[in-house]
Amino acid sequence: MKAMLLLDIAPIGNSPLHLTDLPLPEPGPGEVRIKIACCAICRTDLHVIEGDLPRQKLPIVPGHQVVGVVEKLGPGCSRWKPGQRVGVAWLRHTCGKCRFCTAGKENLCASTLFTGYHADGGYAEYTVAPEAFCYEIPAAFSDHEAAPLLCAGIIGYRALKRCNPQPGGRLALYGFGSSAHVVIQIALHRGCEVYVVTRGEKHRELARRMGARWVGETAEEMPVKADSAIIFAPAGELVPPALEHLEKGGALALAGIYMTDVPPLDYERHLFYERDVHSVTCNTREDGRELLAEAAAVPLRPHTTVYPLAEANRALQDLKNDRINGTGVLDCTNL
């Protein structure tokens, strides 16, 4: 099979992914083999490729927003049938037995493994995945529409839960990339007012078109304080102004898997009056199921830019340089 393989950590500007012939993967016990239709790209892929996250498996096939069709069942599989369309996300293994797993907090399990990081992912024609960690894809979505929901959507949904916006409340989004353009659709559907802070003019224009109440470049320009907020950009320097422009009793969610250092906070200006700060650590499978169900009910429509599989380096370079509105998607049937 063809796959885009990362041999070693390197800047994405060096085009470190190589189109390679790899053996067709065989599903082990409890796993299914999936013929991949497409795989969305994600800033986490950049963190893996460029070494912002600790090295794990190398060489590695990145990608963790996979949509495809079950082709072969491994021993003991019974959840899926050949021909069913499924999705594969970042979370691919938990122990199922620890205090976190048994309390509905499997995202905090110490034994978590991740797709495209600990095991080969979706920048390929085929992949294998544990059947218990695959998602049924609602018929409301095409393959290209469904792929961004499997990380951008799920993490955005988890971040929404962590900052707990209320109908009629004001939600601020810092950064307007893949996750934010999914979240705004859910938030507006729930009756929230959405305020967007983002540096790119193309992103600001998309936010306006999608229904943001206000769009600007800095928190200082916001006409009102937000009741809740999410920082999607991996920029720790956004934390103090986001907190300063948060109402009393408000909550701020930090949605990134990686963030630069957060500057010192002033207790009175940033944290007093019961302002809460919540990090977001991966997601539970229940988050994924809830997100897919709500997205189908909206119905949510991700904005996508499609690239051939072999152009994964270019797609990720465009992502890093903020040249993509919405989500980039690799068409794994088009080399």
If asked whether residues 246 and 135 sit together in one domain, one would say no
CATH number of residue 24's parent domain = 3.90.180.10
232 and 165 inside one domain: yes
Same domain membership, residue 264 and residue 125: no
The CATH number that applies at residue 169 is 3.40.50.720
Would you state the pLDDT for residue 334?
A: 87
Tokens coding 24: 């067709």
Contact 146, 44 (CB under 8 A): no
CB under 8 Å to 142, separation ≥6 — which residues? none
Strands 276-279 and 304-308: unpaired
Q: Which residue's entry shows tokens 């460029």? A: 50
pLDDT tops 90 at residue 326: no
What 3-state class would DSSP assign to 331? strand
The residues, ordered by sequence, that sit 6+ positions from 288 with a Cβ below 8 Å of its Cβ are: 89, 91, 135, 150, 154
- 202 and 184 part of one domain: yes
Mean pLDDT calculated for residue range 34-42: 97
CA distances to 78, 114, 246, 290, 306 from 132, in Å: 10, 14, 39, 16, 29
Determine how β-strand 66-73 pairs with β-strand 85-88: antiparallel
Whether the pLDDT of residue 216 is over 90: the answer is yes
Q: How many CB atoms are closer than 10 A to CB 59?
A: 13
Residue 238: partners with Cβ closer than 8 Å, 6 or more residues away: 174, 219, 231
Same domain flag for 170 and 134: no
Please, what is the average pLDDT of the chain?
96
Omega before 130 cis (within 30°)? no
| Together in a domain, 121 and 171 | no
Reference 221, options 252, 244, 253, 197; nearest CA is: 197
- The pLDDT of residue 256 is 86
- What is the mean pLDDT of the segment spanning 92-107? 97
Assess whether pLDDT exceeds 90 at residue 11: yes
| One domain for residues 136 and 196 | no
* pLDDT tens-digit readout, 255-288: 988 899 999 999 999 999 999 999 999 999 999 9
pLDDT tops 90 at residue 125: yes
Domain count, the chain: 2
What domain range is 186 assigned to?
A: 154-279
Q: What is the mean pLDDT of residues 141-146?
A: 96
Could you check whether the bond before residue 299 is cis, i.e. omega within 30 degrees of 0? yes
The conformation of residue 270, written as its DSSP 8-state character, comes to: I
Positive or negative torsion for Cα 72, 77, 78, 80: negative
What tokens appear for 47 in the block? 């963190």
The pLDDT of residue 259 is 92
> Minimal CA–CA distance to 313: which of 114, 49, 120, 116?
49
Q: In a 3-state reduction of DSSP, which class is residue 14? A: helix
Same domain, residue pair 76 and 191: no
Same domain, residue pair 45 and 141? yes
**In this structure, are 14 and 37 located in the same domain?**
yes
For residue 68, what are the β-bridge partners?
A: 36, 86
Q: What is the pLDDT of residues 147-163, one digit of tens each?
A: 999 999 999 999 999 99
Q: What is the mean pLDDT of residues 222-228?
A: 97
For residue 97, give the amino acid letter.
Answer: K
Cβ atoms 326, 181 nearer than 8 A: yes
Residue 185 has pLDDT above 90, yes or no: yes
In the predicted model, what is the mean pLDDT of residues 43-48? 94
CA distance linking residue 250 with residue 226, whole number of Å: 8
- pLDDT of 335 reads 86
DSSP, res 205: H
Are 147 and 40 in contact by the 8 Å Cβ rule? The answer is: yes
Same domain flag for 313 and 275:
no
| 130 shares its domain with 10 | yes
